[in-house]
Amino acid sequence: MPRATSLLRLIVFPGLVLAQSADESVTVTANQETTLQPDEALISLSVDAGNDKALDAIVGALSPLGISSANLVSVGFAPSPTPFTAPALRWTFQLPVPFSKLQASNTALAALQTSISQNNSGLSLSFTLAGTQYSGQQTANCDYGKLMNQARSQAQQTAAGAGLNIGFLTGITAGSTCAITARFAFQTMLPLTEPKLITITSSRPSTASPDQVTFNLMVQSPTTAGLDDITSALTAAGISGAALTGLSPQTVYVSQNGSTTPEQMLDWYFTLTAKLSQANVEMTQIRTAQGKVPEQLTLFFLNSTVSSSQAVGPSSCPAAGVISDAQSLARTVAAAAGVSAGAIADIEEGATQAAIVPAVAYRSGDFTAVPGPVVLPVGAPFPLPAEFLAPAVTPQPTCSLTVQFQMM
């Protein structure tokens, strides 16, 4: 009778003893450093133009090179020949060029530079090598077989610490870096109750074109000034809609009659966003406003970034290409693990990511950043910190998808 009772319990309650939960597993991450050989040069092109020239005119002059507004990374003031000369606008573009075409591109750039200087267009072109990059996937040189062996070894060592052994692979996760996260079930006689999946996160640049520019401004004031005073002064000078982004104190040492005295100042940071097609108009207004703010205030132009006002969506996301990349990586990772990637089980949209692109930052006037204590003659404007002379960054939106495949 006791035997029959035990057998009956096994039949009526099989889930209590014949299933293994996904929690009964060990998860490890293995990564590998890879060295990618650059295959493209990044050419920085700067076009100096008058305030009357809009973006369309600048892009039209560069059209023989195949450059469009999508290559624009910054617009600012060109350095002035003298402190009293109104600066021109400087439009900065970035052009990736394969190494195999670098010589031909340099020839074409030099020819266009000469042509622009001779056609009385009011433009001037300069260019320089800004750096190099690798154009392919960051995981191109990744040895997934080695990573899987490393993950399996790590998992076994971890399990052994608990007096257990690992069994079959239940999940793999991989993405844009040379790394994998693997989950192994503990070695038992019980089947897994949850599906085995390969999870891949893949991304490509969004196809959304830039249509707005954000200007970064700074206003220096005495410590007695409040936000209302600053915004009122900006509005009166012709700048409206600027958003406060930060505030920091500064100590300025003022030189007078052979002695220096410390003076506390406040630096107010603002952003001002405008349509990219109206960038030259806004830049002209900023320049005009610099001469209209009250004497106790100083308005600085720091830098600018260009971006798209449209969120990454179906119309700007190359989803088919992103999914194709995910499928390719899933097959590679699966083969390294001795399994195969089956049908797609789930697709989730990822957050918009920002790829950093250098953009040259300019400021108007003859201000010099100096290390150590700042010593100024009476009435001199405060010099900008060195970090504002460094390149700004432009966020480039990317379309990211996380795709899950059945593990076979």
Least confident of 67-71, 181-185, 363-367, 371-375: 363-367
Cα 243 to chain center, whole Å?
22
- Domains detected in the chain: 21-34+141-206+313-353+400-407 (no CATH), 38-133 (3.30.70)
Can you read off the two tokens belonging to residue 309? Answer: 């006002």
So what's the pLDDT on residue 168?
87
CA dihedral in degrees (100, 104, 107, 111; nearest 10)? -140
Tens digit of pLDDT for each residue in 317-328?
A: 888 888 999 999
User: Which pLDDT score, from 0 to 100, does residue 45 have?
Assistant: 94
Residue 236: CB partners within 8 Å, gap ≥ 6? 292
User: Does the global pTM surpass 0.75?
Assistant: no
Answer whether residue 77 shows pLDDT above 50.
yes
Q: What is the pLDDT of residue 388?
A: 41
Q: What is the mean pLDDT of residues 86-101?
A: 90
pLDDT in the model for residue 218: 94
pLDDT at residue 371 greater than cutoff 80:
no
DSSP 3-state of 166: strand
Distance from C-alpha of 180 to C-alpha of 185, rounded to nearest angstrom: 16
Contact by Cβ (8 Å): 408, 357 = no
Beta bridge partners of 173: 181, 199
What residues pair up with 253 in beta bridges, in sequence order? Answer: 262, 375
For residue 312, the model assigns a pLDDT of 52
Taking only the tens place, the pLDDT of each residue in 224-233 is 999 999 999 9
Per-residue pLDDT for 390 more than 60? no
User: Which pLDDT value is given to residue 199?
Assistant: 94
| DSSP secondary structure letter of residue 334 | H
Which whole number is the average pLDDT over 17-44?
Answer: 78
- Region 116-132: mean pLDDT is 90
Among 35-39, 104-108, 305-309, top mean pLDDT goes to 104-108
Pair 230, 297: CB distance under 8 Å? yes
Tell me which of 15-29, 69-83, 371-385 is least confident. Answer: 371-385
Q: Quick: pLDDT tens for 238-290.
A: 999 999 999 999 888 877 777 888 889 999 999 999 999 999 999 999 999 99
Within 276-352, strands assigned E span 298-307, 341-349
Following DSSP, what letter does each residue of 92-158 receive, concatenated? Answer: EEEEEEEGGGHHHHHHHHHHHHHHHHHTT-S-EEEEEEEEEE--S-TTTT--HHHHHHHHHHHHHHH
| Paired strand residues for 128 | 44
* 24/220 Cα distance (integer angstroms): 61
Token pair for 73 = 């990374």
Find residue 247's DSSP bridge partners.
268
Give me the mean pLDDT over the 182-207 stretch.
82
> Look-up: residue for tokens 């640049």?
205
First-last CA distance in the chain: 44
* pLDDT band with cut points at 50, 70 and 90 for residue 4: very low
Neighbouring CB atoms inside 10 A of 359's CB total: 22
Residues 6+ apart with CB under 8 A from 343: 405, 406
pLDDT in the model for residue 18: 41
What is the model's pLDDT at position 176? 82
| Range with lowest mean pLDDT among 48-57, 252-261, 372-381 | 372-381
**DSSP label at residue 390:** S
Predicted confidence at residue 81, as pLDDT, reads 66
Contact between 174 and 180 under an 8 Å Cβ cutoff? The reply is yes
Strands 166-174, 197-205: pairing kind = parallel
Is the confidence at residue 56, as pLDDT, over 90? yes
Helix-helix angle 319-337:144-161, to 10 degrees: 60
Shortest CA distance to 336 belongs to which of 202, 170, 192, 142? 142
The confidence score (pLDDT) of residue 3 equals 41
Least confident of 72-81, 286-295, 340-349: 72-81
Task: Report pLDDT for 138.
Answer: 65
Please choose, from the candidates 398, 408, 300, 394, the residue with its C-alpha nearest in 3D space to the C-alpha of residue 345. 408
